[in-house]
Structure 1
């Protein structure tokens, strides 16, 4: 059985979403919508984290998930290596320092394992957070704007890295970038007016070529701003 969420949520008296049903099968599911629509609430519910919202419904998720929040949530007193290993340590698993170093190298921070987060740029911090999420090797990955702090070239490389490392995993990614969703998504949903609405996918296999996505991205952006 796949993972997913079904139900309704309110923030105080304001409904966030009503009677949604989101199934998460292996591959990338991308979720777009205006700020405050409830996208991050859905991720946090799947992760078993507090949301501040009242939810009525059912959540189906594995015991272990890979989680990457909007904020990098790095531990400032811990080294980059320690941050990547944090999830394993909290889960009581043996710390695989060899794999953690390899992941840091894959995000462009090889040889910098001893640095502290305070010495990093915003984009570097986000890459450490991505390495930590990839370290989890969980069957469900929840990514909240995972590439938002990266320059265009680095964003493309990290997208491709995540696609490679999360092959076979059920991924739910929140993004505000229609082009990113169209490039990476096996399924795309738009959360608007409290409902989930499917987005028709362009032709081509993931990752799709950017030039072929321009018309679809413009149409999706029109839906987002109206």
Structure 2
């Protein structure tokens, strides 16, 4: 277990996309927000697509390629981008919007380019945000973008021209027996102390709370 991915910070996952960017690449960041991905990559020419006017005004003070719009439509030419990055946006979309967005990504992605998507999985904090529609697992992209699956009963596969280059999960440590911490029962206290003894020595349990997937388009 690489513990740098046991976090809800986005930087370790930004790094996955950053390492795919070469000098001169056209890079698109979807849902740019305050520009944290562009700032992390130190890529001044990144194209930033954002739906919030206040964020767009702020981004325009720092970057030159800033576009206001709403998914799924993208105002870019076919096969224009080497890297398309989207972090924690897909969970705000309805299923048909996700499907149409992926079609647009495919249209705008160059042959040999990559699509990098980060998203949460279901965990107890997912619906704390009322703008979250639903979690989408990474196999959606494999099914609609990679395999050309013929068993999609509601929607046809978008393409079969992608392969999964990387799938990195985000983790959260599962803290067991913490309900016993304040117990006055001797057995309960003993169980908790044994658990803590093992935990600090590396015997930890983790659960998946999100992921970053890298899809490579064939040449």
TM-score range, shorter chain: 0.3 to 0.5
TM-score, reference length from structure 2: 0.38
Structure of larger gyration radius: 2
TM-score, reference length from structure 1: 0.37
Considering fraction of residues, name the structure with more helix.
1
